[in-house]
Amino acid sequence: MILHELIATTNGALAALFLDYEGETVELMCEHDLDDHNLRILGAYQGIFLTQLRAMCNDIGAGEPRRFKVEFEETAVLLSDIKDGYYVVLLVDRAANEGLAWRQLERCREKLIAEM
């Protein structure tokens, strides 16, 4: 329900995933004709990136990363760290309003934390 709301309230959203500390998909929401398997792989790789980013930030004393973006020609992947290794990924098309997408992702994050 929370991921459905994220997709419904974010113009340009293609898919949303909630993943655990091992990169396993807990929940996936996609209202487009995208392959679930590929979305799960995309989400898992974001977890690998997050793990590497955490290590790098720790090494330089920058603190914990809370979010990051990977931008492609046609899409962007927004990631927000939740807690206990869980994270949420939002795939958006290039027409998406990034500021709005981040706001909606933060609301989603807060709701997921409240349910954990």
Q: Any idea what the CATH number is for the domain that residue 28 is in? A: 3.30.450.30
Residue 91 forms beta bridges with which residues?
15, 77
Write out the chain's pLDDT in tens, 116 residues: 899 999 999 999 999 999 999 999 999 999 889 999 999 999 999 999 999 999 999 999 999 999 999 999 999 999 999 999 999 999 999 989 999 999 999 999 999 999 98
β-strand 67-71 against 75-81: which pairing, if any? antiparallel
Residue 70 structural domain: 2-115
Residue 13 forms beta bridges with which residues?
92
Cβ partners under 8 Å of residue 58, min gap 6: none
CA angle 7, 12, 9 (to 5 degrees): 35
**Helices and strands counted in the chain (H then E):** 3, 5
What is the number of structural domains in the chain?
1
Q: What is the pLDDT of residue 103?
A: 97
71: tokens are 């931008």
User: Model pTM?
Assistant: 0.94
CB 3 within 8 A of CB 109: no
Q: What is the pLDDT of residue 49?
A: 94
